[in-house]
A and B are shown apart, each in its own frame.
Chain A
Amino acid sequence: NAGVMQNPRHLVRRRGQEARLRCSPMKGHSHVYWYRQLPEEGLKFMVYLQKENIIDESGMPKERFSAEFPKEGPSILRIQQVVRGDSAAYFCASSHGPNTEAFFGQGTRLTVV
């Protein structure tokens, strides 16, 4: 029973490039959450998705960031025109539903140079 899988584990992008972070939820989970952890800080909620729907994107920056969770395939967090301040660890979590425990992936560490 594989856990939440995130790839890549490490991603280096130059300023202005695009970053695509992937998350495959645990088997049977249809709810996905993305969190960001800046250095020396806790995890900050970004977005909550169910299959093909964005339920809550209150934590997403207004520009450059988008997320999707298609009917088939992993959830994707996309950051366009990355800047140094986007450097962080991005964690994905999945659950059966909003009232059940969420399990986290190992994260993608994005470094913008």
Chain B
Amino acid sequence: DQQVKQNSPSLSVQEGRISILNCDYTNSMFDYFLWYKKYPAEGPTFLISISSIKDKNEDGRFTVFLNKSAKHLSLHIVPSQPGDSAVYFCAARSEGTSGNTGKLIFGQGTTLQVKP
């Protein structure tokens, strides 16, 4: 039961262009969404998040968009840089029946390659 899905395993873009990473979810109880970046042999690093009461959050080159009706979120990186090359995970958090435990449900990840 994959509640958070990243349907594109990989994405390749040219340096300076926009990277758009997509994520879909099925659980309408999710109320907070996060994007993490991961380099090989390292742990995930928090990038940006968005609450379900918002539809957009921006931080420098990174913007996350949330479409609740479509249960879809996306991460935009503009302009893309070679150092952005990594695996990107979207994750969701919900207030479950036991309260908010902070448990994150991760997607499978999308490998982004930014070519110089």
Contact = CB atoms under 8 A, between A and B. Distances in A.
Q: Do A and B come from one complex?
A: yes
Interface of A: 4, 6, 31, 33, 35, 40-45, 48, 55-56, 58-59, 91, 93, 95, 97-107, 109
B69 interface: no
Contacts, number: 66
B55 to A, nearest CB: 21
B89 A42 contact: yes
Interface in B95-116: 98-109
B7 interface: no
Contacts of A95: 102
Given A43-B89, A45-B103, A101-B49, A91 B108 contact: no
A99 B102 contact: yes
Contact of B100 (A43, A98, A101, A104): A98
Interface string B1-15: 000101000000000
A33 B102 contact: yes
Given A33-B104, A106-B41, 16 more contacts: A4-B43, A6-B43, A33-B103, A42-B6, A42-B106, A42-B107, A43-B104, A56-B103, A59-B103, A98-B100, A101-B34, A101-B46, A102-B104, A104-B36, A104-B44, A107-B42
A44 B105 CA distance: 7
B3 to A, nearest CB: 11
Interface of B: 4, 6, 34, 36, 41-46, 49, 89, 91, 98-109
Contacts of A56: 98, 101, 103
B53 to A, nearest CB: 14
